[in-house]
Structure 1
Amino acid sequence: MTGFIYNIIISLVYGVINIIALFNKKLKLFVTGRKESFDKLSAINSSDKVLWFHAASLGEFEQARPIIENLKKDYSNYKIVVTFFSPSGYEIRKNYPHADVVCYLPFDTNRNMKKFVSLIKPEIAFIVKYEFWPNLLDQLHKHQIKTILISGIFREKQSFFKWYGSYMRKKLYAFDYFFVQNDTSKNLLHSIGFNNVVKSGDTRFDRVYDILKQDNKLDFVEEFKNNTYTVIAGSTWPEDEELIVNYINNHASGDEKFILAPHTIQSNKIQELKSSISKSTVLFSEKDNLELKEFQVLIVDTIGILTKIYSYADVAYVGGGLATGLHNILEPATYGIPIVFGGYKYHKFQEAIDLIKLKGVTIVTDKKELSNNFVSLKTNENLRSTMGKTNMDYVKNNTGATQKILEYIKNSL
């Protein structure tokens, strides 16, 4: 591929997305939100010193978050700009208090990226994990802006490491330094001549470990739980819910409770889920003036509190592994909780692979496997304790990436 071909493709893709957005709610947010980006960035003055962070979505933002919050504290004279690619990240964190500007990253056309980089002129550009946009990287390189990758991860299947990947390989020269999660990523970069790389680990470990220091109390969860054995299923998709609802309806005993926090909280989807459950069920939005302890199932039809809810789990089920991709298992792991998740879409997540080997998690692919695992975990307290300790130790033993990156930054500013 050449730059000319890429620019034709990106323009065509953007045109198609604009048409599809007329009929798709998520893509409409993707398109209309970007129309506001440059207006939001007008809050940046030419005299401002800027640190810019870009994350694809919410999970990548959580990797940037410990860096952002440390820098905001130690370098208060700098303005923080945070951009997102996906609506699922932007819509949840658009009011993030530690950033001066939060907006969508403009679409990766030559014109957009010339304007974007010239406007914010960051002292340092932080790109999280794997967002490699050619025109953006060209502009960062052209303006000699210090650019680092944090919590990066590379795989052999990526075009950088193929015979036909010279176009994308050249874009990596925009990076002054690569902070990567594992030895595989480090060795792959070495194999194509990049030695400005260090294995720092994943900053999410620092983020989730710090969760233990905050106040995680939720009165409504305590009332619902009522000192009863509780399974908490977070970020579930319909594929996950089919298995969980089958267990609740056909196998769950009266002395176990369930909190479901679906990935999608559209009212019609929430009502469908509630209607599918034969046990007494209440929604978060219905909780006021009710005796929550009388219900066996609580469906959380709001966002932003799942991390705290996990602190009440005896067992956690994390969704996405049977659908589009596994969600964050480190949040329940940091509390020392045994974890179950779907066994199809988890292979891109190093923590999932590690914890399978360490036996802190179990994977399921159908109703029978989930039911067998849930029964085993409920009836075997020693198993729960062993798995939970494995998960907590794993998180604790992998902290430290944030400090390594901060030391580099402090030598750069």
Structure 2
Amino acid sequence: KQSAYRKRWRERFGYVESLCDSCLWIHAVSLGEVNAAIPLVHALKKNYPNIPIVMTTTTPTGSAQVLNQLKDDVIHVYAPIDLPRFVRRFLNSTHPIVCILMETEIWPNILKCCSIKKIPVCIVNARLSERSLKGYLHIRKFMSRLFWHLSFVGAQTEADAKRFMKLGLSKDKIKVLGNLKFDMTISEEIRERVKILREQIGERPVFVAASTHEGEEEIILSAFKKILTKQKNALLILIPRHPERFNLVSGLISKKQFQFLKRSEMQEKNIASSDAVLLGDTMGEVLLFYACAQIAFVGGSFVSIGGHNLLEPAYFSLPILSGPNLFNFIFIRDALEAAHALKIVNDENALAESVLNYFNDPVLSKQMGERAHQVFKNNQGTCEKYLNWLQKIIAAKPSKEF
């Protein structure tokens, strides 16, 4: 386990200093949920400039992303362990007007303690895979009672909404509002850093493999060996999903006999032409790496994780490659495939062949990337829908809460 889990441990027991008289509380468990929450945070900050936003995460990865991307826009603390005493202690220090849970965070004691204190609880950007549904159906009665404490659920898709209702959520508590990740933007600061990194890379074809898990780097590095036989100056940017694996992946790159550079050690220097791999061993820079690439592979898809965010490379108009396991992103997968903007590859040979095809055919690459970006644009506007619903819920609170 990461040593970071042992830091700030008192917060996990609900010990936080009295932060504010009232706040908007957003809980995002880890990296993906934090990224989804960012557009909503900006919208809430704009509409409620005088109400602090307290953002909790469970993982250090999520914490790092909050600090990197949102900085002083929110107050970050770790979420309390889901036991009544710890949750009550946290609530007594933060005084939330509303509790906003991102995606699939269903914590029994958080729901019950908020309900007792008459704090409305909403699940935003809610998703529930078929696999998760099968597990929850064994405790349907328990889930149905828990859902009584919810004020509102905003689902990503119609399929997600139907799964929640199968677990007992009342139809009048759920609306299909879409996926907040379609409303992502990049800051001017990131744009400036992109210019610098592009200069450090130079004129080379760049292939990024992001959010990779154990078992995937082996496949990607083997594929890249084959790519280098045809594209000798190609650069692979390899970004493991979890920081505790950075050193392990570094060792694997060495074992495969690639000359490489760690992003954390770059500082001001350029990437040497002899460096075949750049290891993305930093936090909060995935968008920066996508912006410098010509082709993207999104991890969590060669292994049974269910995939990761396909919309980030779509934002940058990149041809997108993925393994076959995308059960957590079915709507986005289907939308991209329908637009011929996603290529599913099953092994290292197919991955190498596809990357070379896009490197060798700039027109094909550009067309596929543009189709991906169009899918992204066609689904924007979700944040406004969520904001409208949250405004109704916040407005219904007694005025003393403000």
Deviations 1:332-370 (Å, cap 9, x if unpaired)?
1101101112223x2111323432343312222322121
CA separation of 1:198 and 1:36: change in aligned 2, threshold 3 A: closer
Letter in 2 for 1:317: F
Aligned 8 A contact 2:64 2:283 in 1: no
Q: 2:297 aligns with which of 308, 317, 333?
A: 317
Aligned 8 A contact 2:321 2:343 in 1: yes
Q: 1:205 aligns with which of 182, 193, 200?
A: 182
Gap runs ≥5 in structure 1? 1-24
Where does residue 271 of structure 1 map in the other structure? 250
Where does residue 271 of structure 2 map in the other structure? 292
Letter in 2 for 1:35: R
CA separation of 1:87 and 1:226: change in aligned 2, threshold 3 A: closer
Question: What is the Cα deviation at residue 217 of structure 1?
Answer: 4.1
Question: What is the Cα deviation at residue 137 of structure 1?
Answer: 0.7
Are 2:34 and 1:61 aligned?
yes
TM-score under structure 1 normalisation? 0.83
Q: What SS class does the counterpart of residue 69 from structure 1 fall into?
A: helix
Q: What SS class does the counterpart of residue 304 from structure 1 fall into?
A: coil
Q: Equivalents in 1 of 2:114, 2:334: separation in Å?
A: 34
Deviations 1:74-101 (Å, cap 9, x if unpaired)?
3222121111122321244357424553
Where does residue 221 of structure 1 map in the other structure? 197
Q: 1:194 aligns with which of 160, 166, 171?
A: 171
Where does residue 329 of structure 1 map in the other structure? 310
Q: Equivalents in 2 of 1:268, 1:211: separation in Å?
A: 29
Q: What SS class does the counterpart of residue 384 from structure 1 fall into?
A: helix
Gap runs ≥5 in structure 2? 396-402
Letter in 1 for 2:224: I
State which drifts further: 87-96 or 131-140: 87-96
Letter in 2 for 1:151: N
State which drifts further: 90-99 or 197-206: 90-99
Letter in 2 for 1:172: F
Question: What is the Cα deviation at residue 306 of structure 1?
Answer: 1.8
Question: What is the Cα deviation at residue 185 of structure 1?
Answer: 2.2
Q: Equivalents in 2 of 1:73, 1:289: separation in Å?
A: 36
Where does residue 123 of structure 2 map in the other structure? 149
Q: Equivalents in 1 of 2:138, 2:353: separation in Å?
A: 47
Question: What is the Cα deviation at residue 52 of structure 1?
Answer: 0.3
Q: 2:147 aligns with which of 165, 172, 175?
A: 172
Q: Equivalents in 2 of 1:267, 1:186: separation in Å?
A: 37
Aligned 8 A contact 1:270 1:301 in 2: no
How do 1:12-411 residues align onto structure 2 when only pairs under 5 Å count? 25-26=1-2, 29-30=4-5, 33-37=8-12, 41-45=16-20, 48-94=21-67, 96-156=70-130, 157-158=132-133, 162=137, 164-190=139-165, 192=168, 193-207=170-184, 209-210=185-186, 215-252=191-228, 253-265=231-243, 268-288=247-267, 290-295=269-274, 296-323=276-303, 324-344=305-325, 346-349=326-329, 350-411=331-392
Work out the number of aligned pairs and report it.
Answer: 384
CA separation of 1:282 and 1:306: change in aligned 2, threshold 3 A: same
Q: Equivalents in 2 of 1:167, 1:366: separation in Å?
A: 41
Aligned 8 A contact 2:240 2:246 in 1: no
Q: Equivalents in 1 of 2:179, 2:220: separation in Å?
A: 30
CA separation of 1:264 and 1:122: change in aligned 2, threshold 3 A: closer
Question: What is the Cα deviation at residue 255 of structure 1?
Answer: 4.1
Q: What SS class does the counterpart of residue 77 from structure 1 fall into?
A: coil
Letter in 2 for 1:371: A
Q: What SS class does the counterpart of residue 162 from structure 2 fall into?
A: helix
Aligned 8 A contact 1:50 1:123 in 2: yes
CA separation of 1:230 and 1:53: change in aligned 2, threshold 3 A: same
Deviations 1:269-326 (Å, cap 9, x if unpaired)?
2531331344543332443575525233322322222212211211011222223342
Question: What is the Cα deviation at residue 159 of structure 1?
Answer: 6.4
Aligned 8 A contact 2:341 2:372 in 1: yes
Where does residue 399 of structure 2 map in the other structure? none
Letter in 1 for 2:60: P
Q: Equivalents in 1 of 2:96, 2:119: separation in Å?
A: 7
Letter in 1 for 2:159: T
TM-score under structure 2 normalisation? 0.85
Aligned 8 A contact 2:15 2:89 in 1: no
Deviations 1:113-156 (Å, cap 9, x if unpaired)?
23333332311110111100111111112222122111011345
Question: What is the Cα deviation at residue 110 of structure 1?
Answer: 2.3
Aligned 8 A contact 2:27 2:55 in 1: yes
CA separation of 1:90 and 1:321: change in aligned 2, threshold 3 A: same
Misfit runs of 4+, over 6 Å = none
State which drifts further: 335-344 or 242-251: 242-251
Q: Equivalents in 1 of 2:150, 2:57: separation in Å?
A: 19
Q: Equivalents in 2 of 1:304, 1:161: separation in Å?
A: 33
Q: Equivalents in 2 of 1:274, 1:248: separation in Å?
A: 11
Question: What is the Cα deviation at residue 244 of structure 1?
Answer: 2.1
Q: Equivalents in 2 of 1:217, 1:332: separation in Å?
A: 17
